[in-house]
Amino acid sequence: MDRVIGVIGGSGVYEIDGLQSPDWVTVDSPFGAPSDACLVGHLDGVKMAFLPRHGRGHVHSPSSVPYRANIDALKRLGVTDVISVSACGSFRDQMAPGDFVIVDQFIDRTFAREKSFFGPGLVAHVSVAHPTCPRLGAVCARAAREAGINVHEGGTYLAMEGPQFSSQAESRLYREVWGCDVIGMTNMPEAKLAREAELCYASVAMITDYDSWHPDHGTVDITDIITTLTGNAGKARALLGSLPSLLGPHTPCPHGCDHALDHAILTAPDKRDPDMVAKLSAIAGRVLG
């Protein structure tokens, strides 16, 4: 199997620099239409597929993003490694606007989204104790450093429903009581779905603001966020551009991301819903036969 890098671009990131023979490819998914077509091409000889999470022109809110269709579409394109790029707020003085954080943990506070490919007729439980791929995250951190980005390795991401930003009371709760490092609206259920799809997943969180807890920065200002987003987008493209050479040839994931379903499906073979089996042909075809 060849390595195929999938990039889910968040706010402000709508392209990959230097992509050769780029082509917008529409992928049909049994989970509905993805956010947009995927921009597919090659970079340094490695196939890459770029999917704008909010769609070109930013037409999807965090709650309306078709997360299942997006992950399913990337899987159908042969993607092996997913890099999620997203904007976030910071709960830490040392994690300043313009810095990047390689997230390794999540607290999921979303409530209006489909969070699994599985369900009645085909039940499965995967572990998300360690929801990101350490190997892929380490490569992203190295790429960030080589691009001159101030990057923090490791951090807990509070996933909120949105689209509103936090109240001060919420911001202080997440920071002081729950010990979160950054806050965003889009990495959940994306990370959970990537694990169900047996994809290595890394989260690159680009800090735009200090949320609303910081005494010297007041409330979140969307104008300031957009200004910081513009600078972050250029940094993100530099990071993405070096990933093919840093990742090298495809090898099995040493952390087992690519075998997450080995013991996850509980429904007996003779009780499995045929329609569900067909629907999950890309996501779970390896274990469903």
Residues 66-113 pLDDT 10s: 999 999 999 999 999 999 999 999 999 999 999 999 999 999 999 999
- Model confidence at 190: pLDDT above 80: yes
CB 197 within 8 A of CB 117: yes
Q: What is the CATH number of the domain that holds 46?
A: 3.40.50.1580
Residues taking part in catalysis? 209, 211
Q: How many domains does the chain have?
A: 1
Q: What is the pTM of this model?
A: 0.95
CA 164 – CA 113 distance, rounded (Å): 16
Own/partner pairs for 232-236, CB < 8 Å, 24+ apart? 232/12, 232/87, 232/98, 232/100, 232/206, 232/207, 232/208, 233/12, 233/13, 233/14, 235/98, 235/100, 235/144, 235/147, 235/148, 235/149, 235/206, 236/9, 236/12, 236/13, 236/85, 236/100, 236/204, 236/206
CA 29 – CA 282 distance, rounded (Å): 9
pLDDT one-digit tens code per residue, 113-149: 999 999 999 999 999 999 999 999 999 999 999 999 9
CA 242 – CA 198 distance, rounded (Å): 24
> Which range marks the domain in which residue 250 is found?
4-288
What local confidence, expressed as pLDDT, does residue 262 receive? 97
pLDDT (mean) for 188-210: 97
What local confidence, expressed as pLDDT, does residue 219 receive? 62
Parallel/antiparallel/unpaired status of strands 100-103 and 46-52: unpaired
